[in-house]
Amino acid sequence: MGTVTPGSRSRYAEYVSDVVFSAKNVFAVGPQGFGTYRAEWSPTAREWSFSPPTGPAELALVPGFVDMHIHGAFGVDFMTASSDELRQMARELRRVGYQALTPTTVTASLAATKEAVSHAEADDMFVGFHLEGPFISPKHPGAQPSSFIQPIPTESSDWDPLLEDAGLRQITLAPELPGADDLISRLSRRGVVVSMGHTDATFEQVEHAVALGASQTTHTYNAMRPLHHREAGTVGAALLDSDIYTELIYDRIHVSRAAASLLVRCKPIDRLIAVSDSTMAAGMPIGAELKMWGLDVVVGDKQVRLKDGTLAGSGITLLDAFQNLWEDFGLEAAIYACSINPGRRLGVSPKLWNLFNLEGHIIQQLESGEKPADF
């Protein structure tokens, strides 16, 4: 079914139907894996039943999106937002297909990070938080504020309450830094996803970190030691180690289609994690001027840049990533990357269901009852 591609579409659905869903032939990841099913929604039980199809698929049935790496959207920045603003952001994200997310910090002072994390339970869609930095490499800061990069504490420190917070679901760190071994082991034993990013780690250093419990790469290709024929680097390890989960910002700007294709071909389908890495610019009008992380930025077409043209962050949501992946690599890969794989990583079973027409628009959303399907 990889040849199924959406046609032209608007950036976000303007209207989602609330009509009662009748049985339809759909593309879905169902009880027998990806394929065409006859899907019927029970409005009383609020769950799906699947049977053999009676004809070609008319729609695509997609579990709600799960975003493991998101800094903000729709004019809201996690680092500075109030709980009310975060709830408003969550409502907007649900409209474009989200079921769950982990709001993500940027490298900042301890006080600013604690203040942001204090709002990490503002909405039921939030399933913990992702600590990106401050334990990253100064060689690969990306858009992270370099002045707040910290060494990894090797003894008790003021960062311990955040590192021990039950809401911490993922941390991005540079595994080559002194003290990383102990922190990786400590957090991975607790079930925290330890993701390698903003890093200058060699291939061997990545493999060492994986042996200790690191299991993911943050925005693969971006802000990490690249592939080289004499030293395969972080990127080489991400491509070759089939156990490593790999985040991908697929806006076709942070990562080209050719580079994304290499990743998709190298990784098992259950190891690809689409992320938005979105900023407050996502969903904002093109040309809008914003103040973000102390910088003056301008919103472009699914991107945000400094006024001198430097790329300053992502301007997409997972809906955009889903549509791009569907168009370039097929519907199955898009569903796994945007919904199933990150959901499994965070223990989120599908409850929200997005019905897409084959042009790539969400036309209806339905929520399961107490017993969600788990494929």
- 30 forms beta bridges with 33
Residues near 176 by beta carbon (within 8 Å), at least 6 away in sequence = 137, 199, 200, 201, 202, 205
End-to-end CA distance of the chain: 18
Residue tagged active-site, from 123, 241, 251, 277:
277
In the three-class reduction of DSSP (H, G, I as helix; E, B as strand; rest coil), residue 28 is classed as: strand
Runs of H (alpha helix) within 12-109: 83-95
- 102 and 165 in contact (C-beta within 8 Å)? no
Of 275, 301, 221, the C-alpha closest to 71 is 275
Is 308 an annotated catalytic residue?
Answer: no
The CA–CA distances, whole Å, from 216 to 176, 187, 197, 341, 342 equal 15, 13, 9, 12, 11
What's the rounded Cα separation, in Å, for the pair 72 and 314? 10
- Which amino acids are annotated catalytic? 277
